[in-house]
A and B are shown apart, each in its own frame.
Chain A
Amino acid sequence: MRVNPETRHWMLTPERTLWITGCLVLVMVPHMLRTPVWVLACFAALASWRVANATRGIPLPSKWLVIGLSGAMLVAVYASYGTLLGRNAGVTLLIVLAGMKLMESRHLRDAYVLSSLGYFLVITNFLYSQSILTGVYMLVVVLIMTATLISFCTGRDELHARARLRMAATMLAQAAPIMLVLFFLFPRLPGPLWGLPRDAHSAVSGLSESMSPGHISRLSLSDAVAFRVKFQGKAPAPNQLYWRGPVMWHTDGHEWKSGQSPRSWRSQYVELRGEPMDYTVTIEPHQQFWLFALETPTTIPRGAQMTRDFQLRTLKPVHARRRYQVRSFPDARRSVTSIEEQSAALALPPAMHPKARALALGWRSEHADDDAIVARALAYFSGQPFVYTLTPPLLKNDPVDEFLFDTRSGFCENYASSFAVLMRAAGIPARIVTGYQGGELNPLGDYLIVRQRDAHAWTEVWLGDRGWVRVDPTGAVSPRRIQLGMDAAIPPTMGPAGLDLPSGGPLWETLRGWRHGIDAIKTGWNEWVLGYGTNRQYELLAFFGVDAGNLSALSVAIFATVGGMLGFLALWLVWRRPVPADPVARVYQRFCRKLARTGIVRRGCEGPRDFAARAAFARPSLREAVERITAMYVALRYAGQSIPLGEFKRAVGAFRPR
């Protein structure tokens, strides 16, 4: 078939092919680490084939071969994942389809399908990572994709590659305000519209509903951020920062479990005392049901409820980063009114911990007062050679007795569970609270970062009139852990893995400073980009007096703002004086602008010499400079003389009329 030169405009020319293939390759790069190797090989082969077709005219495969290959790849994807649905299989399928579409694209309309597919693949990357780095990389990819769209509409003789990229960048910049308005005003729905595939959320380490030896110490190896807190007013002292998470009531001697508090328990009695504390927590998704708060929370965030042991539990797992505000009364008195609760807090597994029980009963025979028994137990921990360590020796049969009387070295979970067992044996109701303790204050953002390594376990005992009182046996062994945080007790390993820097050194301090800076940026990113959801939108819009729940008001606001922006942009595009293509004219325009600032404005019809004469007349002090620059301009622009452009630029740059 003879190709009419006119229809070339609708064909996928080699140049356009290279653009679109390049885009697809770039958007695939981050995926390549996540997909099976054969996908990488197939896509690379297909892309190379297409590039060879564009540059050397190697023929494309026939239609039947494409269909056959597509079928084979479909089967291969199914074989790899066992399904064609879900996040991982879906993304792989998209990659494979893009490769096959590349093989059969001959017309521009195919190229549009490919570019839509390309943008779609950008979004699939965000399902895996939404870090700043990913965002920046994808911005570059989107820029190149947009330039590719421009290449579909212009020939190479009209715009070269760099000009297309520049034009794409301009348009993205012009689109950015619209994007921001839509981003902040578009109504955010709290939950998924339909069921998410099972692999939508990757597993993260964190606290769980149960506590067994070694669980929290494993967490302490992770530097991952659990949540960030911003206090209204001064942050409390580190040893007051007990972030309550799951509360454990039941033990089988080895493991502690939270379990729902029985329905029959009557509501808690709380006496609010002392000064309240207000703070905002931005929690990282942990796929579990609880939110963290200081003792004793009195506000309940959206979508959460308070249990009778003062946990904040969400109705759905925390799949997305979210912010919530809490008001806590640290000095509140928490009381118990039900017998069932007391008996649950006294239960011990039968025939376990005989030595611990004997010890506790001994204390009970000496003291009638519960407070004295608590003090006695803490004195036991601080008086005996107990060691606080991340790597306790293995406890085989009876973790409590072996820990208390043999090994005597353990982590907070060992101390907390042993202490609770001792208390229960002595007849004092006790429960274990897991959560986080402390946190690192980031001076740059004035907020607290709580990491997984701050995970902690402590106990609460019921002391009659005083209600539930927190007791942290770890503090008796390692006061530094409680007062100065985890870093002081067991220094973190910063720097590359395996390279332990001595803590406190100058390099360590520098790294710490950088880490704070990076975390401040990340916090802003998390708070305003990733964590911007239903709650944040309500707060932000309420600040501007708009109710985010009022959809009609919201849509009016969106249309009005976007329409206004477009109108403004249209006026600017039409009326803006375009920058002259000629560098000489551009420099001269700068000169005119400088003069205009002093009140001498060049008229549209005025030639450079007339203008110079008028300027020199109005400002005799500038005469020499104005005449010199004008002479250079006239020589460069009209006489075609070879004065170096740099000299002209310098002369205009140095021109400073006052």
Chain B
Amino acid sequence: MGQRPRRNCCAKCLFPDVDAPLTGLGRAASVSLPGSSPGFDRKITDTGAAHLLRFRRIYILPTRQGLGFALAVAVMLLGSINYGNALGYVLSFMLVGISLVSMLHAVRNLSGLRLLPDECTPVFAGETASFGMRADNRGQRQRFGLLARLSGGHRGGAEHDPVLHFHVDADSMRRIELSARAGHRGWYSPGPVTIATRFPFGLFRAWSRKDIGLCCLVYPRPVGEQPLPTCLLGESGHQGGLERGEDEFSGLRDYQQGDSARRVHWKAVARGQGIPVKVFSGATSGVTMLRWQDVGSDDTEARLSQLSRWIVDADRQNLRYGLSLPGCDVPADSGHPHRERCLRALALYDDGASA
């Protein structure tokens, strides 16, 4: 169980809180989406009825093992009839009894559980998105042997087992993650979650499907051969050369949200001296503008992919950069939140043609 290692090799995995406002839940407040589920626009504090697995919506069918077991019991009963064996009858009927009772326990194992969407880190198209969920178990009943699966998600190769096994203790909440491969840029909804259980005996499988409005922002795939534009604008009127902003080390300051992980002074962290961040004197000296019209391509998606690539590269080099799209400009800045803001603009770019 536990969290899977995320694919993005950036500060996010070290400081998961960094991009909190941009993820799944936060989106509800700021963005309205075409084709999102009705439950999605509810207030995020509503953790009640909408996410409750209801008794009536839980289905149950025997498993293959259950059918085999039924066959065995039928043979036992036939044998008991033939031999007129009273204790054989008792055992056969006892097994019928526990099978029936186990159906109720299986349903009860799911009934009353709440499933809430949790944050989901944005990914690039083609990567695997991890959808976070919280299984909220109120009450004194432990939930055993639960299986969660994304019903509509891509059933990935052998690499990604789409089924997650977990359990929830009494009166507690558990965070689980399910992965699915993200296809296209924009908001990606993997569809309803199937939550199932074979508890207690594995003779029946009870399940329920719930669309809890899982959503993940998918950035355009960062591909493109064109070099990063070198058109640099001095912010203070000064047009410098190829300043990379990493020339002169000017000192240390405390970590603030949004600082790149590359600038953290890790050795000091290791020594337990807080989280100091290196500051470079050249870091504020130049600005790279990444412009829609500078991409030499006519295809919208190819352009967005190229821009995505540039943003990733510029961020890696710790440049100050800005983004200019038709109808949307992101002023120059650097750091992680800026990167996310730019990529988000690309992900949600709507040129009117695709709408």
Contact = CB atoms under 8 A, between A and B. Distances in A.
A binds B: yes
Interface string B14-39: 00000000000000000000000000
Interface in B77-102: 78-98, 100-102
Interface stretch (A142-150, A260-268, A637-645): A142-150
A142 B91 contact: yes
Contacts of B200: 149-150, 153-154, 167, 171
B163 interface: yes
B65 A4 contact: no
B105 A573 contact: yes
Contact of B98 (A108, A146, A533, A573): A146
A193 interface: yes
B183 interface: no
Interface stretch (A121-129, A397-405, A490-498): A121-129
B240 interface: no
A116 B64 CA distance: 13
Contact of B100 (A122, A175, A319): A175
Nearest to A534: B84
Given A533-B84, A566-B100, A569-B101, A578 B139 contact: yes
Contacts of B55: 574
B297 interface: no
Nearest to A581: B170
B59 to A, nearest CB: 15
B288 to A, nearest CB: 44
A138 interface: yes
Interface string B128-171: 00000000000111101100000000000010010111010010
Nearest to B86: A530
Contacts of B164: 6
Contacts of A113: 68
B284 interface: no
Interface residues on A, range: 35 or more
Contact of A122 (B81, B91, B93, B108): B91
Contacts, number: 166
Interface string A45-83: 000000000000000000000000000000000000000
A530 B85 CA distance: 7
A9 B165 contact: yes
Interface string A174-201: 1111110011001001001110100010
Contacts of A552: none
A175 B32 CA distance: 52
B145 A171 contact: no
Contacts of A109: 64-65
A578 B140 contact: yes
Interface string A436-463: 0000000000000000000000000000
B321 interface: no
Nearest to B78: A193
A119 to B, nearest CB: 6
A217 B91 CA distance: 40
B93 A179 contact: yes
A154 B86 contact: no
Contact of B93 (A134, A152, A186, A529): A186
Contacts of A7: 161
Contacts of B91: 119, 122-123, 126, 138, 142
A192 B83 contact: yes
A16 B124 CA distance: 42
A580 interface: yes
Given A149-B202, A578-B139, A154 B144 contact: yes
A126 B202 contact: no
Give the interface centre of A123, A135, A171 by most chain B CB atoms within 10 Å. Answer: A123
A112 B85 contact: no
A86 to B, nearest CB: 13
6 contacts: A112-B68, A119-B95, A123-B91, A573-B104, A578-B141, A581-B170
Interchain residue pairs A-B with the least CB separation, the first 7: A175-B97, A178-B97, A116-B72, A578-B140, A182-B93, A6-B161, A149-B201
